[in-house]
Amino acid sequence: MRKPDSIRYQTMVWGICLLTFLMITPVHAAISDIPAGGTVFIGEEGLDITACGIGNGDTLGWFPAGATPATGSPDITIQVTDATSFYVAPQTFQGKTGTWYDMGTKSPAIIVADPNLGIRVYDVGYGQIDRTGLWVPMDFELQFRIETNLHAMAVRPGVSGAPIEVRVNQKEGIEYSTLTNRAGVATPLLFAVDRNPYMTGPVWYPDAGYSRGIYEFHAFCNANNMKDNYNVVGKTITPRSETVSLSKTTTTTPAPTQTPIPTPTATLIETPAPTVATPTPEPTPVTTEEPSPTPVPEPTAAPISLATSLGALAVITRLLLRNK
């Protein structure tokens, strides 16, 4: 073999060896590697905090609210035995959350947080409403909503999010770690949670072969054995009493409801009918009757016999007087 060909061959062999080495060499970054000023959670163990400027034998100190190394003395100090395998022990760090300082440099080293974790079940296509504890028709597609502060793990190098697992249990005793959605995709119930709250997206379609009835579900996080060391409900694990009930009825998928835009109603202006003058009736003449004159009674004539008698009496009387 000529020398140039030999050099070319050796170069190719070494290149293949280097590429193979890079491919099989594991990435060192892990969920246990804490960046400078990073957050660690109570219960985690085996943490590498050397990137925080902490070495073996260094002292960490915690100060009460409002105090710092420049303004006060620490309430508690701990000596780090192994900075590559640090344990956030519950008995030491409960009630002592917040910034811990490197007492050698008087600078912030790590932030200790108390984990919290909650889970709810939501529908996907019917308004994304919380269905926890309710009956749900079989043709509703479901998703989980995870609420936690563990999403802070996403800032660790090479970590996409906090590994949170979900388990679904049927009352008959069947436990599911994988669910199937409407598209027929089976989804492992392990999620890299990188925000709060975190929606899993459609993972569960009851009509995909699941029986009707009541299902319990819960979530937990055991990153760096935190649940094993700090098995507290609401912290590293959610209550097992959360339920969703798959009903016996199904519904038809309604078309998206659109808010109707009201059409302005045309205002009709009525044309008044022409007013027809009603002829005023001529007054009916009223005949006024003149009052009849009150008749004056005529003197009643005395009876003739009486008059005659009186005349005769007068004559007799006169004659008698004359004869005297």
pLDDT tens for the 324 residues of the chain, in order = 444 454 444 444 444 444 444 343 344 579 999 999 999 999 999 999 999 999 999 999 999 988 989 888 999 999 999 999 999 999 999 999 999 999 999 999 999 999 999 999 999 988 889 999 999 999 999 999 999 999 999 999 999 999 999 999 997 789 999 999 999 999 999 999 999 999 999 999 999 999 999 999 999 999 999 999 999 999 999 999 999 999 866 554 444 445 555 555 444 444 444 444 444 444 444 444 444 444 444 444 444 444 444 555 554 556 555 554
DSSP states of 227-281: HHH---BTTTB--TT-EEEE-S---PPPPPP--PPPPPPP---PPPPPPPPPPPP
- Taking the C-alpha atoms of residue 60 and residue 78, their distance in angstroms, rounded to an integer, is 5
Q: What is the predicted pLDDT for the residue at 262?
A: 53
- Taking the C-alpha atoms of residue 211 and residue 162, their distance in angstroms, rounded to an integer, is 31
- What would you measure as the largest C-alpha separation in the chain, in angstroms? 227
Q: What is the predicted pLDDT for the residue at 322?
A: 56
Residue 165: partners with Cβ closer than 8 Å, 6 or more residues away: 177, 189, 190, 191, 219, 220, 221, 222
- Taking the C-alpha atoms of residue 118 and residue 219, their distance in angstroms, rounded to an integer, is 7
Contact 40, 47 (CB under 8 A): yes
Q: What is the predicted pLDDT for the residue at 29?
A: 72
Give Cα separations from 311 to 37, 82, 304, 305, 318 (angstroms): 167, 180, 11, 10, 11
Q: What is the predicted pLDDT for the residue at 261?
A: 56
Q: What is the predicted pLDDT for the residue at 81?
A: 97
Q: Which residues pair with 216 in a beta bridge?
A: 169, 243
Give Cα separations from 158 to 28, 30, 163, 195, 199 (angstroms): 9, 6, 13, 16, 22
Contact 59, 80 (CB under 8 A): yes
Q: What is the predicted pLDDT for the residue at 6?
A: 47
H-type alpha helices, 35-145: 90-93
H-type alpha helices, the chain: 3-24, 90-93, 226-229, 304-323
Strand duo 243-246 + 135-136: pairing = parallel
